[in-house]
């Protein structure tokens, strides 16, 4: 089951995106339990940590659903081993910045970056696949695994390197004669300058040097199910503000982007993949 994970698109379609992410996770969990699946692994995201966007908050809510299922399975003594794996951006995957930069360079520019200081974690597709499988093999039930993604990459520097490796010079305020323009479009709604992988400072090593286990808080089953039920009712009546507010009750670390409040929760998309009110 695929989650909706494009930050501005989710901000523009709050109810549909939250319904998809939560319902699909719950449905996949139910199917895994009823069909005798041995292992269930939720692919989470670094954006679930202290989220500033609906996508990240919804994925943290999905983590809570999986944590709750793992506890119920442990109490029942039967069912799949449920775990979660958090990591950042995967180079070359759908929506990755690298293919976008390649297309922009091939078109003669400009290459667009949201902010000069923005950083992200990256890993390759083979690295991500191997570590997810290995984390699943380490699981005993309820773990939140975090993949070691190395040092964060400054996106503006990545853009500069890609322009230069393509045989062009960079055109910016310091180099007005360059061949390919590098432009900064501003942070998109819900977007952070940097991402994190841990909500708390507590994590521990595993038997794999590139996989660590986070220690995250859970929510009592009755409270979680009551809030999720209320959330789905708000989705049914398309109450976006109510959905955001309730997400913040389910995920206390979620901070609604003040720009979204001032825009009345309206977000549209430009063809260059940046977002404007």
Q: Out of 5, 47, 59, 192, pick the active-site residue.
A: 47
10 Å Cβ neighbour count for 2? 9
pLDDT reported for residue 268: 42
- Burial code (b: 16+ CB inside 10 Å, e: under 16) for 145-159 equals bbbebeebbbbbebb
pLDDT tens per residue, range 84-103: 999 988 887 777 889 999 99
10 Å Cβ neighbour count for 106? 9
Helix 240-250 with 14-35: angle, nearest 10 deg:
50
Instruction: Answer yes or no: is pLDDT of 197 > 50.
Output: yes
- Cα–Cα distance measured from residue 221 to residue 216, given in angstroms and rounded to the nearest whole number: 15
Q: How far is CA 89 from CA 14, 16, 80, in A?
A: 22, 23, 28
pLDDT tens per residue, range 115-171: 999 999 888 999 999 999 999 999 999 999 999 888 899 999 999 999 999 999 999
Which one has a higher pLDDT value, 209 or 198?
A: 209
Residue 76 confidence class, pLDDT cut points 50, 70, 90: very high
Average of per-residue pLDDT across 258-271: 46
Which one has a higher pLDDT value, 135 or 276?
A: 135
For the chain, the average pLDDT equals 89
Burial of residue 264 (CB within 10 Å: 0-12, 13-18, 19+) is exposed
- Cα–Cα distance measured from residue 19 to residue 14, given in angstroms and rounded to the nearest whole number: 8
Name the region of 150 (left: φ>0; alpha: ψ -120 to 50; beta: rest): left
- Cα–Cα distance measured from residue 265 to residue 239, given in angstroms and rounded to the nearest whole number: 11
**59 annotated active-site:** no
Full-model pTM: 0.86
Average of per-residue pLDDT across 204-217: 91
Q: How far is CA 52 from CA 46, 48, 193, 204, 255, in A?
A: 12, 9, 11, 26, 5
Residue 275 confidence class, pLDDT cut points 50, 70, 90: very low
pLDDT reported for residue 274: 39
């Amino acid at each position: 089951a695929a989650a909706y994970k494009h930050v501005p698109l989710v901000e523009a379609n709050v109810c549909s995106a939250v319904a998809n992410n939560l319902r699909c996770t719950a449905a996949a969990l139910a199917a895994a339990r009823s069909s005798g699946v041995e292992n269930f692994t939720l692919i989470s995201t670094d954006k679930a940590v202290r989220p500033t966007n609906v996508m990240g908050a919804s994925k943290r809510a999905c983590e809570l659903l999986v944590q709750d299922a793992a506890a119920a399975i442990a109490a029942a003594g039967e069912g799949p081993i449920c775990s979660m794996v958090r990591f950042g951006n995967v180079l070359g995957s759908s929506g990755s910045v690298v293919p976008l930069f390649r297309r922009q360079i091939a078109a003669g520019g400009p290459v667009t970056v949201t902010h000069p200081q923005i950083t992200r974690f990256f890993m390759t597709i083979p690295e991500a696949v191997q570590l997810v499988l290995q984390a699943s093999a380490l699981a005993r039930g309820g773990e939140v695994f975090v993949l070691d993604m190395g040092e964060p990459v400054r996106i503006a520097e990545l853009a500069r390197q890609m322009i230069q490796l393509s045989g062009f010079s960079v055109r910016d305020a310091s180099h007005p004669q360059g061949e390919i323009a590098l432009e900064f479009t501003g942070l998109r709604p819900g977007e952070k300058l940097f991402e994190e992988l841990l909500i708390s400072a507590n994590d521990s090593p595993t038997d794999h040097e590139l996989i660590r286990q986070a220690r995250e808080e859970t929510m009592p089953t009755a409270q979680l199910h009551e809030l999720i039920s209320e959330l789905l009712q708000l989705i049914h009546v398309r109450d976006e503000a109510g959905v955001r507010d309730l997400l913040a009750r389910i995920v206390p670390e979620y901070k609604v982007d003040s720009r979204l409040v001032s825009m009345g929760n309206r977000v549209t998309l430009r063809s260059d993949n940046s977002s404007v009110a």
